Structure 1
Amino acid sequence: MLTVLNCLVVEHDYRFVGAALLICSIGSMVSMRLFSRARNVSRAKHAAFVFMAGVAGGMTIWTTHFLAMLGFIPNVEHGFEPNFTVLSLALAIVTSLAGFMIAASGERGPSIELGGGVIGMGIALMHFTGMRGFVVAGTVSYDPGLVTFSIVAGALLGMVATNRVARGETRRSQIAGIAALILGIGMMHFSAMGAVQITPDPRVAVPGQLMSDSVLALLVVAVTILVVVLGAVTHLAEEQSEQDAVAHYRHLAMHDPLTGLPNRAAVRDELPLRLKKAAGTSLAIIAVDLNRFKEINDVYGHAAGDAVLTQTTARMRAALVAGEFFARIGGDEFIAVKSFSRDNEVEEFAARIADAFSRPNELGKASFSTSASIGIAVHPKDGDSIDELTMRADLAMYRSKKLQDGSWCWYDADADEDGRRRGQIAIGLRSAITEGALRLVFQPQISMKQRRLLGFEALLRWTSPQLGEVSPADFIPVAEQTGIIVDIGDWVLRQACREATQWPAPTGVAVNVSPVQLMRPNFAERLTEILAETGLEASRLEIEITETILIENPGQALLVLRKIKALGVRVAMDDFGTGYSSLSTLFSFPFDKIKVDRTFLNALGRQAQATSVIETVIELGHKLSIPVLAEGVETDFQAAFLKDRRCDEAQGFLYGRPVDSSTAHALALSGTWQEDDAEALAKLTA
């Protein structure tokens, strides 16, 4: 009796065994990677990857088995019956395909392991069908124990393979899944072969129509080639797919989804390259702003705004010639770049831009007309860096917008001097908060009757690394124009409230609020969050507003002020007397304080009108029971005048200059103020 278990050691050609293990490794890697891809692609590609995984897996199982069989050299006449040999290949592919289909059908359910079990059982089915076609001059029997072990081992390892690939999230898990399938195929084959017992019998004749080893070898080679080719195709397909995905995501990252134009990220990459290529030649950076865009959005809706953008930019793309670059960097902001040798080339380009932006845009039966504000800066005349050139193109564009005549403006250092500084301020403000360049100072507010410290007005200061100390009169308007005031205003409120929590109650803090910030729909809610975050009592916070917001949008302003008052926060009218409707607004809005503008105090004693205004405002405040605070008190004469007229509160250099946080804390702890202390306090806060 001859057992294969013994002849595995002494009667096998290990070249075939090695080849079997090699093709098993390659095929297992191919099929499991295809299976993994099938679980992570769209439905349209899912079936294709499952099919390829099943074919690769089935051919791998079959090839491994018959390559190993070719390495087996029994000392009896033998051959391979064609029908069962081909049937075993078909069964290997079908069961492998079914297993991968089941395992790939669910995201996380038990179907993953069930599919792996089907693959493992398919290995056994292929093996024993293939062995049914193995004909020898004798009888073939099996050891039931080893047969059972081989079937169970193959099924379990198949389950482990699909489990690791489908449920594992690391590369190590993927390798473990491939290794489990290799082990499952190899263990199934060799343990099942170990169960074979061959008893030579000269009376058993081997039919002549069987396939010889050489014929089977040719068939195995053909299938092996198919496995290798499928593996190569899979690898190339994956590489191409990854390249396509990278290209797709890069396109999405570098282009505006609405217009298809390059976006701000693409501009950051493209402009330095073009500037580098422009060495020795001229390069025009052109800033473009779409006029009336906000109006169209507000009046006709965002669908109309989108239609204007898509139609305008479609015309613009059609108007571009080779070497020109055009991108959308914001809602209605664009930038263009062009290399040139004559100025008229840039003007011709600007004319094409103006034409594309000025043609009517259609949405249904409606037609929308727009125009473009265009500013041009040139390298090297106007700057050597991208930041300089883009900033100066913006400055020229703002000048074009002011002209409102449809013309474009070249950057002019003299004409844009003020705009240039505003541009520098705008750039610096964007990073002022994160860089810690902003700070608060606090100016004392005094009760003239009770002779005590009531609180402080929080005043914003900015020290720019590039511009030095910048006056609030310079940077606040820029912050409002650019919208940066919203973030800055939040920061000021939070810092002022946080500082005030360190002072003894009821010392309060007054904070100026920009009209831009106040008119945001969520201002009251944001104020609530800041009070909760800092822990400051609402009654200790005073919001100062100017008449600007009351004149421009009285209805919305009244709604917001009522919400603020409902929180318990006090509201003061700042710069009273300088507006156009001061008296009427006192009856319409719920103010807790009136602040007389410093210009009247400065004119006191020189202009009779100033004296009359101050006296009238103080008297009006008394009749309406609204406290009046005089700003800019700097002399004893002014203080005496206010005291004689029974002015409630005052602030100014006479009582102390704006101080830092630690000094404000010390003053708040002292809490009182006497006339004899005025000089000492002024020195302390100087």
Structure 2
Amino acid sequence: MRGSYRRTRLLLPWSWWNDPMLNLPSCIAFGHDLVLVGLAVVICAIGSVITARLLRRTMESVGRARIAWISIGAIAAGSTIWCTHFVAMLGYEPGVAVTYEPLITIVSLVVAVVGCGAAFGLASERVRYAAPVGGAAFGIAISVMHYSGMMAIAVNGVIEWNAPLVALSIAFAVVFGAVAFLQVKRRRASGAIVAGAVLVSVAIVALHFTGMAALSIYPNPALEGDILINDVARGLIAFAVTGVGLSILAVGAISYFLDEQTRAQYASRLHHLTQSVVDGVAVVSGGRIVDANAELERMTHLTRAELLGRSMSDFLNVNDAMPEGQVLTATLTPACAAALPVEFALRTEVSTIDATPLTIYSVRDISQRLAQERRILFLAEFDSLTGLRNRASFLDKSASLLHWSADSTRYVMLAVDLDRFKEVNDIHGHSAGDMVLRTAGGRLREILEPGQIGARFGGDEFVVFSQVSSKDQAVTLAERIEKAFSAAIDYDGATLQCYASVGVALYPQDGEEINTLLNNADLAMYRAKASGTERICYYDETLDDAIRAQRRMIDEMRHAIANDEFELHYQAQVRLPDEEIDGYEALVRWRHPTRGLVAPNDFIPAAEQTGLIVRLGEWILRTACTEASRWANALPVAVNISPVQLADPHFVSKVKETLRTTGMDPSRLELEVTESCFIGDNPWANPALQELKSLGIAISMDDFGTGYSSLAMLNSFPFDKIKLDKSLIDQVHANPKAKSIVRAVMSLGDALDVPILAEGVEIVEQLDYLRAEGCSLVQGYYYGKPGRLTVADASAGEPSKSGLSGPARPAAAG
């Protein structure tokens, strides 16, 4: 540049209206190349969109990411301002030659970038009014860039500035910049970009063209031709502007790509996080669902695509005032499905991508839990199989009913038990038994009227408590229940037939408390069950005392087994004619804490009737094997087996396990069974005995001569010994018929090659007759009463001979 000349003059406020160039539309229309002006506006618009996006990201970021976005935003925004300015300046036609000083031009770009960086930094601070303050700084940066860029102009003439318009241009930039930044911060993401871009464009364009309207250039003819490189300078400016414009587009493209990639990664992480949660999860932004997991899809019966964009209030009664983090109960109501009880909680998070507030709803389907709770509450009071009340609920309800009733009110307590129920279970299986119980419960519910209470106490025991006006009404109710329970049931092609035994106790004559009434009705029911003919029995204090005593004994027996109150006594079995001890029979005794030594005849029948004989029999067998295994003489021991034990399909395995654990030699064990073991429906008896015999265990027929005494029975099983019952031996010395029967049995034993043992030998006359008839073995008080046996006693192997001519004496107790 050579001989350039520039003189600047500032117009006073009262003179600027007289200049035609001060009209802004005229300035744009007549002072510029409209094509380049249009290009400048396009560049400004594109750059403003990029600026707004980068500003939004800057405001949403923290830490190092914020600094990075400030840097990118400063370059993009500063370049937009600078590029817009100089494209417009290339289209400026003042009527004189114009050139630009390169250094000042470059400085103006640096000023724009630095100023925009400061503006972005201020606007992204987490303080109040940060956005408008940063926007005002942005307007100042535009102004400084514009007027520093204008300082790069060199013309052959005089430059004048209109002070009011300069001030107005700066005001435009500051105001529109502040509003633009505020809009970017406050509005939703999509609206923020549009509003911010428009206002940034307005700020840049308004300042530029208002500032250009404030400029007046007057040619100086004396300086004509003094500027020599006008075209070269303009070409350099055009090249620089093109480069900067391309950089704006590059920065915009890179920032957009990075932004979208980051958002996609964040959205993917968020989506995978929601999918990994077992509860229903919805992420809400701006009141609309932006993400949801599969569990919420299941609960709402909507796909994820259908959920997106909807409000949570479409399904839940939610509002903005709900507390954060608190678990609330509500009902989720899908549009096309049944309502679900749910628990939900919400918390607010800020997106790490764009600082958008996110409300995260965690929704849990509690329908199954509530159903389980209802089930638990139901089972606390009702029987799961029949739907009737259970024992605790029945007692509580009936006691309450009795407590609040008038003194003149009469009630009946019915105890019902199903006969042949065990047979149904054994033959058809437990599923058939359950069917019987369910059917009985259903029939009982159909009979019961409001105010009547029915319950199942367990097993096949049912009870009913009802107010009645008379005994006849109680009888009618009992008969209806007995008839309903005794009706046949179809099950899988079979007809199941059970019968009901009903016990009846009346209030107040049979008891004034629920437990008393229940106990007395139970006693009457057991009497009906034992009778075999009467289905309904009424409580009778005299008749039911024996049952009461038996039940008391059963309870005491359970306690006795648990507390080792039972003990084994042994009675010698003597071989004839040499009178050597051939073995011992183990006989159980109960040493009762108050009644002393109780004989088996007083408790064994009750144990067999209630099934307690199974536990007691296992104890007897185990104890006998344990004690006998310690005897030095290795004599055998005989143990009585109940028909109830033999009916157990696991009996053989229990015997094997006892032999294994005690170390007892099977050949030393003898099991005594009675004829009743083979009578009735007991399919396991014969096979079980055959298997036990195959192990080397001796099987003997006990109490022969009583009951059926079937010869076919002797033919069906190879017994190792036949024991004549004491009732025959008692009369053998005085009754000719008894002698004939015993003689016949002895002959039968010889024919079958089975030894005969005579029980109950007490006097020498009985012994002499048996010896004369060739009896193999004897047992009885003649050789001593049963007693405890020590190892030393068993090792002696000889009975006391003092009883041959004198009175019998008990065996030694150990």
The verdict on a shared fold, with TM-score over 0.5 as the criterion, is yes
2:382 matched to 1:255? yes
Specify the alignment match of 1:178 in structure 2: none
Which stretch shows the higher mean deviation, 440-449 or 273-282? Answer: 273-282
Contact 1:354 1:406 in 2 (8 A): no
CA–CA separation in structure 1 for the residues paired with 2:125 and 2:769:
116
| CA distance in structure 2 between the aligned counterparts of 1:478 and 1:89, rounded to whole angstroms | 83
State the alpha-carbon separation in 2 of the partners of residues 509 and 72 from structure 1: 102
Match of 1:666 in 2: 792
Quote the residue 2:720 is aligned against: 592
Are the counterparts in 2 of residues 486 and 516 from structure 1 also a CA contact under 8 Å?
yes
Q: Offset of 1:607 from its aligned partner?
A: 0.7
1:390 aligned to 2:518?
A: yes
Q: Call closer, same or farther: CA 1:265–1:470 in 2, change over 3 Å.
A: farther
- Which residue, out of 725, 729, 738, partners 1:601? 729
Structure 1 pair 425–71 and aligned structure 2 pair: CA distance change class (3 A)? farther
Q: What is aligned with 1:317?
A: 445
Counterparts of 2:497 and 2:676 in 1: how far apart (Å)? 31
Compute the displacement of 1:459 (Å).
1.4
Asked if 1 retains the 8 angstrom alpha-carbon contact of 2:629 and 2:662, the reply is yes
Residues 170-218 of structure 1: per-residue CA shift (max 9 Å, x gap):
xxxxxxxxxxxxxxxxxxxxxxxxxxxxxxxxxxxxxxxxxxxxxxxxx
- The change in CA–CA distance for 1:256 and 1:348 in structure 2 (over 3 A counts) is same
Cα pair 1:453 1:668 within 8 Å, conserved: no
> Partner residue of 2:12?
none
- The Cα offsets for residues 376-427 of structure 1, whole Å up to 9 and x where unpaired, read as 1235543466665434323322333466677632101223343333333344
CA RMSD of aligned residues (A): 4.6
Percent pairwise identity? 37
Contact 2:590 2:598 in 1 (8 A): yes
1:372–1:406 Cα contact (<8 Å) kept:
no
Whether the 8 Å contact between 2:414 and 2:464 is mirrored in structure 1 is yes
User: Counterpart of 2:693 in structure 1: which amino acid?
Assistant: K
Query: Match of 2:324?
Result: 227
Equivalence map 1:254-403=2 (5 Å)? 254-264=381-391, 266-267=393-394, 283-291=411-419, 293=421, 306-340=434-468, 342-358=470-486, 361=489, 371-383=499-511, 388-401=516-529
For residue 99 of structure 1, the aligned residue among 261, 267, 273 is: 273
Partner of 1:675: 801
Structure 2 residues not aligned, in runs of 5+:
1-60, 64-123, 135-180, 193-259, 286-317, 331-342, 346-363
Q: Is the 8 A contact 2:723 2:758 kept in 1?
A: yes
Contact 2:398/2:453, CA 8 A, preserved across alignment: no
The residue type equivalent to 1:252 in the other structure is L
CA–CA distance in 2 between the matches of 1:582 and 1:401?
A: 29
- Residues 357 and 584 of structure 1: CA distance in aligned 2, closer, same or farther (over 3 Å): closer
- Residues 358 and 584 of structure 1, relative CA distance in 2, 3 Å threshold: closer
Tell me how many residue pairs correspond in the alignment. 515
Residue 760 of structure 2 contacts residue 779 of structure 2 at CA under 8 Å; is this kept in 1?
A: yes
Give the residue type in structure 2 aligned to 1:82: R
Q: Using the alignment, how far apart are the partners of 2:263 and 2:792 within structure 1?
A: 91
1:494 pairs, out of 603, 622, 625, with: 622
Mapped partners of 1:356, 1:71: distance in 2: 84
Residue 187 of structure 2: aligned partner: 82
- Give the SS at the match of 2:455: strand
Matched, 1:516 2:644: yes
Aligned match of 2:48 = none
Deviation per CA, 1:524-567, whole angstroms, max 9, x where unpaired?
A: 12211111122211111110011122344697533222111011
- 1:79-101 Cα offsets, whole Å, 9 max, x none, are 52533499999998985453142
Give CA deviations for 1:651-683 in whole Å, capped at 9, x if unaligned: 2222222213xx343311323335258779935
| Counterpart selection for 2:552 from 407, 421, 424 | 424
CA distance in 2, matches of 1:364, 1:621: 49
Rounded Cα–Cα distance in structure 2 between residues aligned with 1:89 and 1:288: 74
Query: CA separation of 1:664/1:654 partners in 2, compared to 1, >3 Å: closer, same or farther?
Result: farther
Query: Contact conserved, 1:440 with 1:492, CA < 8 A, in 2?
Result: yes
* 3-state secondary structure, aligned to 2:542: coil
1:194 maps to none
Q: Deviations for 1:257-293, whole angstroms, at most 9, x for unmatched residues?
A: 3322234564566566566667956553211123555
- Residue 573 (structure 1) aligned with residue 747 (structure 2): no
1:648–1:359 Cα change, 3 Å = closer
Q: Give the match for residue 476 of structure 1.
A: 604
1:573/1:642 CA distance change after superposition, 3 Å: same
CA distance 1:222–1:479, shift in 2 (3 Å): closer
Indicate yes or no: 2:612 matched with 1:507. Answer: no
- In the alignment, what sits opposite 2:755? 627
1:413 aligns with 2:541: yes
Aligned equivalents of 1:377, 1:575: Cα separation in 2: 41
The one-letter code sitting in structure 2 at the alignment partner of 1:83 is R
SS in structure 2 of the partner of residue 439 of structure 1: strand
Seen in structure 2, the aligned counterparts of structure 1 residues 518 and 258 have a Cα distance that, compared at 3 Å, is same
Distance 1:321 1:619, change over 3 A: same
Where in structure 1 are there 5+ consecutive unaligned residues?
6-67, 106-117, 127-220
Tell me, in whole angstroms, the C-alpha distance in 2 between the residues paired with 1:604 and 1:476: 28
Given the two structures, how large is their TM-score scaled by the length of structure 2? Answer: 0.54
Per the TM alignment, residue 569 of structure 1 is displaced from its structure 2 partner at its CA by: 0.8
2:572 corresponds to 1:444: yes
Deviations 1:19-69 (A, max 9, x none): xxxxxxxxxxxxxxxxxxxxxxxxxxxxxxxxxxxxxxxxxxxxxxxxx99
String of CA shifts for 1:294-352, please: whole Å, max 9, x gaps. Answer: 56667777666555543443232122123321122344331112245643443343244
Give the letter for the 2:549 counterpart. R
Which amino acid counterpart does residue 460 of structure 1 have in structure 2? V
Q: Could you tell me how far apart the structure 2 residues matched to 1:501 and 1:276 are? A: 61
Once the two structures are overlaid, the 10-residue window that deviates more, 563-572 or 383-392, is 383-392
**For 1:288, what is the secondary structure of its paired residue?**
strand
Rounded to whole Å, the distance in 1 between the matches of 2:430 and 2:561 is 32
Q: Shift in Å at residue 519 of structure 1?
A: 2.5
Q: How many Å separate the matches in 1 of 2:713 and 2:368?
A: 67
Tell whether the 8 Å contact from 2:631 to 2:795 is kept in structure 1 after alignment: yes
- Check if 1:615 corresponds to 2:743: yes
Q: Is the 8 A contact 2:733 2:765 kept in 1?
A: no
- RCO higher in structure (CA 8 A, sep ≥6): 1
Tell me the distance in 2 between the aligned counterparts of 1:71 and 1:508: 102
Whichever of the two has the greater Rg, that structure is 2
1:479/1:404 CA distance change after superposition, 3 Å: closer
Q: 1:314 to 1:476 in 2, by over 3 A?
A: same
SS in 2 for 1:682: coil
User: Cα–Cα, structure 1 residues 378 and 648, in superposed 2: closer, same or farther, change >3 Å?
Assistant: same
Separation (CA, whole Å) in 1 of partners of 2:777 and 2:623: 24
Match for 1:547: what amino acid?
E
Secondary structure of the corresponding residue to residue 329 of structure 1: strand
Label 1:672 to 1:277 Cα distance change in 2 as closer, same or farther (>3 A). farther
Q: 1:227-259 CA distances to partner (integer Å, 9 max, x unpaired)?
A: 356656537989997665333124235533332
1:454 corresponds to: 582
